[in-house]
Structure 1
Amino acid sequence: MAQTRNRWTIYLKQLRHKNRSVYMTWMLSYVSVLLVPILISGVIYGATLNVVKAEINRANQSILLQMEQAIDSQFKGIENLSLEVSLNRRIAAFISADTNLSDSDHYDIYQITKDLRVYEIANDFLEGIYIYYKNSDTVIARNNRMNIEALYDHIRLEEHMPFQSLREYFDRWYIKGYHSVVVSEENEWRPTVMYAQNVNSTIMNQPGAVLLFMIDRSKLLEQASVPEKGTIFILDEDNRFIASTGESLSEPALLYGDMSEESGQLEIETAGRRLVASYTTSSITGWKYVMTLPANVYHQKMNVVEQLTIASILLCLIVGGGVTYWLLKRNYLPIHALIQSLSFKAGFTFDRGSNEYSFLEQALSSTFHEKEELHYKLNQHNNTLRSHFLQRLLKGQLDSHIPLHESFSAYDLRFPLGGFSVILLRIEHFGKFHRKEEDQVHNKRLLHFLIANVVEEVARKSVNAYAVELDQELLACIVNHQLASPTEQRGELGHIAEETMSFISNHAHVQLTAAISAQQEGEYGIFQAFQEAIEAMEYRIIVGSGGVIHYGDLSGNDNLMAAPGGYFYPLKAEQQLIVMVREGQLDKAKAFVGEIIQKNVTTEPFPFHTAKCLIFDLMATLQKVIGEIRIAGKPDMPDGVRAIERLMQCQTVGEMRSQLYDMLELLCGYVNNNREYCSNPLIDKVMKYVNEYYQDENLNISMIGEAFSMTPSYVSKLFKELAGESLLDYINKTRLAQAKLLLISGKYTVSEISLKVGYNDVNTFHRIFKKFEGITPGRYREVK
């Protein structure tokens, strides 16, 4: 016992010691994934259990409903028969007979018995029909005649019911309903069902008659569909059995009062057994139709579902546990091997349970630090010279008088194959190596070294490769391979880039973007391959960062730097955007800008500098809007200069578009929040006056001042403060707006249009039009 306790203590200590290891992190991740199918199985089990239970309940209720409909239809038939019997001429006429029966009365009794036999034969659901005439104290059945004392000896509501209670029952003024009664049969009382209904006399204050229909109780449940091991019975309001299937029950397992609803289901325990009872209520008699099933039979299908669910969960645990263990070992072995290799080569002992990545970083840092100390001069000069040579080789800046093969031999570079390609790797995010408290320069060097070694190691599985740092964020890898088809070359280089990016991302959380050139033949093709890789890397501004960009995807046209559909941002589009922003229509402005970008940038291949031009053109349009909507005395006007600065810092079209949308929101919000500053009764009247008299060549500030009984300087100053622009500019813009409509229509010459909008001198019209629109009226008509 003590040894077992010590063994568990050691195991728990090891487990706590391991909690910092990547092994424990992976194990928790795999176990979390393993719990997903188990949770799904539990949810499916609950849903399936509810469905099975609902189907069982529906089947039971369907059986009870069919039984209720069958029995109630028989009861309705009896009620209809009672009406027919009460309307029988001979039966109704005998009500007036008294106790002294005449010969004609005896003959009528004979005829009534014949009629009763016909009624009984027509309905096999009946055991007998009795008619009790109160006036003559006569009870007529199909085979005999008796008085009420004889009827008491034959039929009672209860076995020990006194005679006076039976007489009081028949003396009621209104009798109609079903009763559980007992009938005498071979000196024994047998329970059965009786339907009683009185027949009133047509003569005032004369006693009437009572019709008694004895129902064959054995046929009530004759057609009931009883499930296996189930029981169906009928219970009245006094908890008496009307009828039942199977064994005869001595007392009800379920009381009438326990079934408060019209229909439902209960689970009860009786005589040491658990039963599930489904019930419904007759709309005619008010009796309860009950079906009981043993609980184990009722839950049989549910138990099967439960067993299947448990089996599936166990299977998930067994199979998933095995797969989890296999994957954990398989994925951990490379890290473990790398740790062991570093431990052996670097001379560091790895503390089991510590974080492998931290150890890897420390081991690499320490190892290279030692190597730098041991071979400082040689490695420093050799690596620097070699990197410098590779950089010059990529840029085509080699000395022409030194043969390349001699330079390769001097720097221990081997290029035995005929094909060359270049892979550029750009660092988008430094991941674990971005730590403020540590030396950033050292971390970047370490990351560059790690990336260079990984890409060389991955590439050298099939080809020769040499990596070199170009700047703080860019590395290049020269790949020497066999000349192959473009498809094979693309797949091989893409695999090298993707595997490198995946390894660096998984182990250092560093995001890279890769650009791959096409293949070139010969050493002098390295420069061309580098230029292609640079062009592909520049295209990241369109496709975004974090992926692999092939130069072959960009070279579909002979002229890569020309967009296939041309540059689309006409003057009309700019004017539409200005109007939308000036009116504060944010949604329309965003949709319109998105459409412009869609027409240009999403057409591939698309030159990156053209995308920049488009975004800057759109931002320049917003700069124009800022000047037009600026309101004096309102300091919350968006800063266009800051927006341009933020835009220049963006590196992808997506980021540029986001900055552009932010600027749209600020401008439209500014317009919508300051509409009250732009709306003033006097300003509205001035604007209306200008819109009415803009065709008048004498319209100027002085004319407007006279019209409103104000000095020209005051009107001009007030308009500038409230409208945000000078009154003269507003007059010119109103005239030019009409002039542009007339120019587009093409019905008038430029001189005629000049006169129609209030300019007497066509040269003045040309000058003002070009000032506000940037082009001459004639050019505007050509563009439109």
Structure 2
Amino acid sequence: MRKRIREHLVHRNTVLYSWIISYLIILCLPFCISSILMQLLIQSVKQETQEAYRNELLNTQILLDEKLSEMSRIALEFSLNKEVDRLVSLSGLSAQEHYSFYLLQQRFQDYSISNHYISSIALYLPDLQTCITNKSCYTGTLFHDYCIENLPSEAYPEKSFQNTYYVLPDSGILYLLSLPLIANSPDNAYLAVTMELSVLDTLPFSIANHMLSIRSDSDNNELLLPTASNTFDSEKKSSVLSIASDISGFTYSLYVPEKEYVSRFQNTQFLILLCNLSSMAISVLLAYYFARKNYKPLIKLLAKVGAGTCSQNEYNLLENHIDNITQKSSEIEKELTRNKLALSDYYLRRFLTRSHTAQEWPAIQAIPIVKAINMQTKTAAVLILDLQDCGQLFHEQGDQQENLSLIRFIITNVMSELIPDTLQYKNIIDDSLFIAIFHGDSEEISAILDSLKQILLPLLVSYNASIRIGVSRQQTITSVTSLPDFYKEAAEALEYCRIFNLNWADYNINWSCGHHFTKDYQQLTGITYKFQNAIAVSEFSRAAEYIDQLFLLHFYQGQPLSDVRLNMYSIISLFRSCLMKLDDKNFPVSVEKQMEALLNCTTIEELKDTLRSNLEKLSEGLEQQTHTRTARLIQQIYDYIDQNYQCYDLSVNSISAAFQMSPASISKLFKRETNTGLLDHINHVRVQHAKELLLSQTYSVSQVTELVGYTNVSSFIRIYKKYEGISPGMVKQQN
């Protein structure tokens, strides 16, 4: 035991030096405490200030989103206008059309005047080389010049689907809506609503003396407000607060100078200095107590060990002290290793998404799998597992986080068992994504991917896990050259899984090459016409029968993703055009709600189910409307008979003429709804009124006959006896 202690104990001078270093560290505590207090104070003040500015930015976001929503409402209102719909379908111009342009221009002008924040409303008709605005009308070369000047390059001259907000740095904010939203239609037009910079400057923002940035996420265009402060001093350090728009792809950012944070805690410096002095005095006392309590006995004990005069208990005490230090050192090393791995995963994730900075690049290059990547001699593959829908697994046995942890545990263990040591492998767990990177021999990578598809995928499916896996592997040496490209392709394969509701999809190079497969356009046109015609005549159940054929002709396995997205918008546009025609017939349907539900669909099956659900709702609405209209008509017939039962010419023919229906139709409708013939009801009403008159003993039978609309007494007596079982004369005698 003495030998073990001598091997692990440090020399007396080393212990003395460690005591001196510890004492110096304790003396530095005041400065550490002051630094911590300063940092906490800065963070507290900064957080409080940021919260105040964030509330102001949130109010600004609500105001701008309200105006953007109003812009889309105005565009949608004009898109439902019959005159606009007629102008969109024109193939040529005449004098009458120029007058229509003038009337439409006047209406645009009235809207822009009543909505003072709207600077411009325009209808672009590329087929007619014409643009109608609230200020003027542009044709010919003026049309092209106006389009180039006022439309973003992404929208002109391409005839593509547009339901988008654009940021125009030199003009303002533009909302563009395509008309009539039917794919492959010869008609093509755009409705544009613009809010100019001068109008944006006048909006009642709650932000003062700061710079507001409106940035479009799609094209990265940025608009700075107020425009008079666009010469922002970039040398001044500033903090950026950002909030995403709820209805558009915009991001609102607020630039706040850093000096506003620092100026709020200058009066607290004296308090921090006082804390420093107090901490220094306390540290001196602690150092003295610590040295007297621990290090002084330890130095004496070391002296005894050197002289060989230690007792057995003292040796045991030193041995326990060594074991504790060793255990704590091991725990610290493990924690440092875990932190290093987590930081490595973070840098690798940013590298795959191409969001890393130049300062992070050296750390990324040090990651083993990135450092060892050699696409010239070996191949690579990236596999992405989407675990987003796996949280409801075993809903009765655990919560969502427990289920996700279980799935991750299964995936990690299965991969560790299947992947050979000769293959380089790295996995990253990022929220609901499990990313696996492979690098090595192409045959080994193909074999491991096939094994995962045959073993891991069925295992997860057996757990009722809604798993989706996108894979990108190097087909040839020259196909892909970097890991970010692999990750991008695997992400596209994962999106393909989501759209087609698949469990596994390998990236297909035809998706990016724009390769199109042949479709039976004649059959597609026929099904489309039947679908439109069924909705036009309000036969929604028949229209629902064409949905499967419509989707079968639009979508198929191996289809390019660009075609899939375009065809999804095409079906939505087709349904929208049908709804617009129903709306013109005063049919109770909300086009905006129907479109919102369809545009939120992310998969083909979800789009199909939503479309079928919308048709069912339309069918139910039609049945309810028909039932209400029929009930109202039956009540009107009742009222008409009650008011005219005394007329001699009251009959089925006279009632059908009054309600503009054929005698057969009105008799059939009345019989179906009341289970009584129309002529029977007329006789029944007359008999009831005749009974009241007979019981009054005021009128004779012949007089009653005339008062209830009969011309023949014998006919009246026969009908009365048929319904009451007794003749009119007997009624008078009994009474």
Same fold, TM-score > 0.5, yes or no: no
Quick check: which has more Rg, 1 or 2?
1
Q: RCO (CA 8 Å, sep 6+): is it higher in 1 or 2?
A: 2
TM range (shorter): 0.3 to 0.5
TM-score, reference length from structure 2 = 0.35
